Copies of this chain bind each other. A is one copy, B any other.
Amino acid sequence: MRNIRMVISYVGTSYHGFQTQPIGNTVQDVLEQAIVVLTGEKVNITASGRTDAGVHARGQVINFLTSSPIPVHRWALALNSRLPDDISVLRADEVPLDFHASYSAKRKTYRYSIDTNKFADIFERYYRFHYPMPLRLPEMRAALAKLVGQHDFTSFASQRSTKRTHTRTVISARLDESEGKLDLFITGDGFLYNMVRIIVGTLLRVGEGKWNVDDVVRILAAKDRTKAGPTAMAHGLMLWEVEYDD
């Protein structure tokens, strides 16, 4: 058996998230089906993490075991010719058998994109959450800085989270702005379910002046999901990059 790793990109708009589920129509289903067509072999894809319905990926990482002899440099082109145009394999390589796209991941980066202009840029309408409000960027950036570091992020995790511990390290975070468009880039050693979207929902309240930096410190310390802001819309979120030690 060989262990194949791939970096893939997908537009989440038309899918019920990454991971296979009874309702069907997931990115995983489509990928596994394309691999069956290519190799004649049913594989079981492992991703660096699932993404929810509507969430996009620029650089999702997956791996799977296969006995196919297809040379690794042929996989991307061969699969792309069999995939719909909203899913793309960017590269493929062969990795040791103990490589696991999720357990081996060291850092992940997400981007969350917001359009604060009165009328949304229609060319980014599926990727950028339209929130036409004046926002206090300095306060948002100061609040964001309070989340960097190792913390118990229970306040910023879905109550459906089943993780044993909610302690995670946010390694870096920045909020870019250009012509009324905001892009939050946040890198961490791992993220809890809905964590980036709840951080964004909370930062938007800070931006609107409903909360201050001190409120965010208080929310973080509370370890209580009900204290934080709402979960921001899925379509503004993109899994940007997953990093490994190699």
A125 proximity list for chain B (CB < 8 A): 85-86
Q: How many copies does the complex hold?
A: 2
**Contact partner, A90, options B85, B119, B127, Cβ 8 Å:** B119
- Chain A interface bracket (under 10, 10 to 19, 20 to 34, 35 or more): 20 to 34
A89 proximity list for chain B (CB < 8 A): 119
A127 proximity list for chain B (CB < 8 A): 123
Grouping DSSP codes into helix (H, G, I), strand (E, B) and loop, the A interface class, with mixed when no group exceeds half, is mixed
Q: Is the CB of B123 within 8 A of A58?
A: yes
Q: Is the CB of B76 within 8 A of A9?
A: no
CB neighbors of B among A59-117 (8 A): 76, 80, 85-90
Task: Give bound CA distance, A87 to B121, whole Å.
Answer: 10
A58 proximity list for chain B (CB < 8 A): 123
Q: Is the CB of B56 within 8 A of A123?
A: yes
Does A120 sit within 8 A of B, measured CB to CB? yes
Q: How far is the CB of A180 from chain B (nearest CB, A)?
A: 12
CB-CB nearest in chain B for A9: B122
Q: Is the CB of B119 within 8 A of A88?
A: yes
Q: Would you give the 0/1 interface string for A144-171, flagging 1 where the beta carbon is closer than 8 Å to chain B?
A: 0000000000000000000000000000
Q: Would you give the 0/1 interface string for A1-14, flagging 1 where the beta carbon is closer than 8 Å to chain B?
A: 00000000111000
CB-CB nearest in chain B for A80: B119
Cβ-closest 10 pairs across A and B:
A88-B122, A9-B122, A88-B119, A90-B119, A11-B122, A86-B122, A85-B125, A123-B127, A80-B119, A11-B123
